[in-house]
Structure 1
Amino acid sequence: MVLILILVALIAFIVLATTKLKLHPFLALLAAAFIAGFAYGVPTKEIVKLITTGFGGLLGSIGIVIAIGTIIGVILERTGAAITLAETVIKIMGKRFPTLTISIIGYLVSIPVFCDSGFVILNSLKEALAKQMKVSLVAMSVALATGLYASHTFVPPTPGPIAAAGNLGLENNLGLVIIVGLVVALVTALAGLWWANRFMNKDIELLPEIQAEQLEKTAELRQSYGELPSASKAFTPILLPILLICLGSIVAFPSKPLGTGILAQILAFLGQPVVALIAGLISSFFLLKSSSKADEFNKVVTEGIIHAAPILLITGAGGAFGAILKATPLGAYLGETLSALGIGIFMPFIVAAALKTAQGSTTVALVTTSALVAPMLGQLGLDSEMGRVLTVMAIGAGAMTVSHANDSFFWVVSQFSRMKVATAYQAQTLATLVQGIAGIITVWLLSLVLL
């Protein structure tokens, strides 16, 4: 019982430190690792060693992937490729189902681009579609936001799911995480779309005083891209790494479906996440437009590294926290206790949902929860390759439940959509609750079939 009380206190400390004390999650997780070491009686000589080993071990396996994935996202954002993706989907889908179209756009764009940035980039497109089709702006905003949120939470190379996969030992099998993540993300995107459509025919009062200002900003943003890249150039940096990683996972199947010859060896090499993302990064170079592409490339790489730095530090601190917990008897004790309760795959969801709701950051919820549950997988019956993948999905479902006032994405969606706060709670916050529930139900059903 004391072990559980210490764990509860540690979670409470992380939440209070990041919300009330405004401490950066990196420092909060690092402090929690030290506190956990002393509280659980880890030998003092081992505490620092475990923390540094856990920090370096996780970043060593997944850090380069996070950095390159972030850089690709910045390039897609800065070159207007995200707009090309959106306009290509509109050409294919047409304008008969505006909320479905904008949801699919969000689902695709947020695989490499952060959902906050994706919403800002696509805001003018959403506004134009809403006016042309005479559709509720609230419905269109929620459809876009939930589409973005779904793939952002479940599908690598987004940093959150990559970090969770790394914590759970899946850094060499991201292909499986991507495949399952795309399925779970699609279900949660459709659940968000269902909620968005509830507002299709409702006359909701918006905030008119900022309308002109926001429209002017988004129009300027759209014009700043100049001539947009072609669809093939825009899609390649996203689809090429995913394709290579998935092929690498197929080659690694025990049945050896592609044999063991030179082709299999080449695909196995190219399918490693670091190599696959480098290929995507090389392809993104052709999106750059300036006369000095090398200088422009260096600028966006620098910006991407700046964006990736906090994520890398949080991820590493999560690895340090997890390393300390693995060195304690907590995993065995808690795993046996939870196994007796029979909640299995729901346990990671509950912890992630509590953390997300309390402190607001999806990435912090993903990293912290994956570090917490890693030592318990055996006792929870999830210590298999597919069990670990589904655990990442369960954590992702929790990490999207729910987005409210302590989440920056909530304010991006509400302010750019001119929603009143009360409206945003009814539309956006409840949509993320629906998404989270749909996500964990999907994961549970998959566990019945695949485990």
Structure 2
Amino acid sequence: MSTLWLFGLLLGSVGLIVWCTARWRMHPFLVLFLVALLLGLVSGMPLDKIVDTLKEGFGETMKKIGLVIILGTVLGVLLERSKATLRMANFILGLVGENRAPAALSMTGFLVGLPIFCDSGFIILNGLKQSLVRRTPFGMPLMTLCLATALYGVHCLVPPHPGIAAAAVTMGADLGMVMLVGMGISIPLTWLGYIWALRFGPKIEDSAQQSEHEHLDEPEDLPSIWRAFLPVMLPIFLIGLKSLVFLGRAPENAMNSWLKLLSLLGDPVIALLCAIVLAAIILPKQDHFQLLQKWFGEGIEKAGPILAIIAGGGTFGAMLKATEMSTGLANSIMDWHLGLFFPFLLAAILKTAQGSSTVAVITAASIVAPALSGLGLDSEWGRTLAVLSLGAGSMVVSHANDAYFWVIATFSNLRSDTLYRLYTPVTAVMGIVAQLLVWLLSLGLQ
């Protein structure tokens, strides 16, 4: 098949995904699966190979990332139900003082966002945010933006959040290194959201902030500081330490028993499992086992829809790899000289069109992975930077087709036009700044 025909198939399949998810609100898993099936039929692949490719794509994706998503989701539920997230927030507020409440909320959003999805984190911390609005001179729009941007940056750039984690697996990047560099980039993005909120938040007058008079009681049975923080920081430490120790060499070649133990503990699955054990210690002593069972079930149920989307992305990616599209795309991209900006632009287009950062980064990763060599990114650092470029692109932009947009609006009692003026522009700025930071890193590593 000609390169033009291959590009037509690629653009048509991506366009169909965007159209079905954005225009008709079809479930991403169904769309990704059906488009992968249609792609195999149109490309002329034998029918039996089409079915095998779909199954292999589904199974390989679950094999590589399924346990990470389930355990990460369970950890988030345990931290939420045990009030560890609220304890972390109160501790940070005590350190910085109520006069620095916006900074405290941004810091809290960053830390809580490491193990918890942005929408869940926003809902969890919404009560604290409302209390701070009443206790401080800072209004609802300003405080909402501090929390929303902090959670958003971490969600798009730091594993084990599903989109960036699945992209790392698809691209063959080291998950721990993506986590470390992603955290480094998300720190200035959190600061950027904080500065943006201070600059533009006070200019937004919204009647919603005057309508909240209910009193929120502070719970007294909060866990201790170390019990609240340790389950969040332990997996980050273990996974990051393994990546640093084994940088440039394969963990399976480790001969020392301590290195072998570190290789085991630094695996994302084992690291998250250790964090869950620690989080379970935080639970109330009464009915400990029954609560643990219930919250485990909640976490697994919450992980189900996410796993379905990721599996759909796996089938689509497998079908792309099984056709000749990969070779044609890679050869053509070599002449474009876009480098790291290609994954960023692709993810940004998908995000803006259909709303989900997770779907955007997973779909874009399936397209970019075969083209890494043509982009000059087929190396350990190159793959890491390519994944982070996808994450940066998946921020641009959040608007009315993004579920997180409506979580922010609903729980903050803010009008959608207020968020369009205040929140949507900063998501574009955050994504562009993140991409520029990734690009600067690539220059420094040459």
Please say whether Structure 1 and Structure 2 have the same fold, judged by a TM-score greater than 0.5: yes
Residues 26-425 of structure 1: pairs in structure 2 closer than 5 A: 26-170=29-173, 173-202=174-203, 204-207=205-208, 211-212=212-213, 215=214, 219=216, 227-254=221-248, 260-425=255-420
Structure 2 letter corresponding to 1:409:
Y
Structure 2 letter corresponding to 1:100:
A
Give deviations 1:402-426, integer Å, cap 9, x for gaps.
1111111111212222322211101
Residues 393 and 431 of structure 2 are in contact (CA less than 8 Å); yes or no, is this contact kept in structure 1? yes
Offset of 1:208 from its aligned partner? 6.0
Structure 2 letter corresponding to 1:336:
N
Residues 58 and 312 of structure 2 are in contact (CA less than 8 Å); yes or no, is this contact kept in structure 1? yes
Residues 333 and 371 of structure 2 are in contact (CA less than 8 Å); yes or no, is this contact kept in structure 1? no
Offset of 1:352 from its aligned partner? 1.0
For 1:34 and 1:158, locate their aligned partners in 2 and report how far apart those are by CA, in whole Å: 27
Residues 335 and 379 of structure 1 are in contact (CA less than 8 Å); yes or no, is this contact kept in structure 2? yes
Identity rate, percent: 40
Structure 1 letter corresponding to 2:178:
V
Offset of 1:136 from its aligned partner? 2.7
Q: 1:17 aligns with which of 20, 24, 29?
A: 20
Structure 2 letter corresponding to 1:211:
E
Residues 206 and 420 of structure 1 are in contact (CA less than 8 Å); yes or no, is this contact kept in structure 2? no
Give deviations 1:241-279, integer Å, cap 9, x for gaps.
111111222332237999842221211111111111111
**Are the structure 2 counterparts of residues 382 and 254 from structure 1 closer, same or farther at C-alpha, using a change threshold of 3 Å?**
closer
Task: For residue 167 of structure 1, give the secondary structure of its aligned residue in structure 2.
Answer: helix
For 2:317 and 2:288, locate their aligned partners in 1 and report how far apart those are by CA, in whole Å: 42
Question: More deviation in 68-77 or 135-144?
Answer: 135-144
Q: Residue 427 in 1 paired to residue 427 in 2?
A: no
For 1:211 and 1:412, locate their aligned partners in 2 and report how far apart those are by CA, in whole Å: 17
For 1:13 and 1:177, locate their aligned partners in 2 and report how far apart those are by CA, in whole Å: 30
Runs of 4+ deviating beyond 4 Å: 255-260
Residues 238 and 280 of structure 1 are in contact (CA less than 8 Å); yes or no, is this contact kept in structure 2? yes
**Are the structure 2 counterparts of residues 259 and 53 from structure 1 closer, same or farther at C-alpha, using a change threshold of 3 Å?**
closer
Give deviations 1:122-177, integer Å, cap 9, x for gaps.
1222223233331232111101100011111111122222111111123xx32101
Task: For residue 313 of structure 1, give the secondary structure of its aligned residue in structure 2.
Answer: helix
For 2:330 and 2:188, locate their aligned partners in 1 and report how far apart those are by CA, in whole Å: 29
Residues 192 and 434 of structure 1 are in contact (CA less than 8 Å); yes or no, is this contact kept in structure 2? no
TM-score by length of 1: 0.93
For 2:192 and 2:401, locate their aligned partners in 1 and report how far apart those are by CA, in whole Å: 23
**Are the structure 2 counterparts of residues 97 and 312 from structure 1 closer, same or farther at C-alpha, using a change threshold of 3 Å?**
same
Task: For residue 333 of structure 1, give the secondary structure of its aligned residue in structure 2.
Answer: helix
For 2:49 and 2:275, locate their aligned partners in 1 and report how far apart those are by CA, in whole Å: 40
Structure 1 letter corresponding to 2:32:
L
For 1:190 and 1:5, locate their aligned partners in 2 and report how far apart those are by CA, in whole Å: 41
Offset of 1:438 from its aligned partner? 0.9
Residues 211 and 418 of structure 1 are in contact (CA less than 8 Å); yes or no, is this contact kept in structure 2? no
Structure 2 letter corresponding to 1:441:
L
Residues 204 and 418 of structure 2 are in contact (CA less than 8 Å); yes or no, is this contact kept in structure 1? no
Question: More deviation in 331-340 or 311-320?
Answer: 331-340
Structure 1 letter corresponding to 2:202:
N
Aligned to 1:436: 431
Task: For residue 97 of structure 1, give the secondary structure of its aligned residue in structure 2.
Answer: helix
**Are the structure 2 counterparts of residues 108 and 131 from structure 1 closer, same or farther at C-alpha, using a change threshold of 3 Å?**
same
Offset of 1:345 from its aligned partner? 0.9
Q: CA RMSD in A?
A: 2.0
Would you say how many aligned residue pairs link Structure 1 and Structure 2?
A: 442
Structure 2 letter corresponding to 1:234:
A
TM-score by length of 2: 0.94
Task: For residue 423 of structure 2, give the secondary structure of its aligned residue in structure 1.
Answer: helix
- Gaps in structure 2 of 5+ consecutive residues: none
For 2:49 and 2:250, locate their aligned partners in 1 and report how far apart those are by CA, in whole Å: 42
Question: More deviation in 194-203 or 150-159?
Answer: 194-203
**Are the structure 2 counterparts of residues 379 and 139 from structure 1 closer, same or farther at C-alpha, using a change threshold of 3 Å?**
same
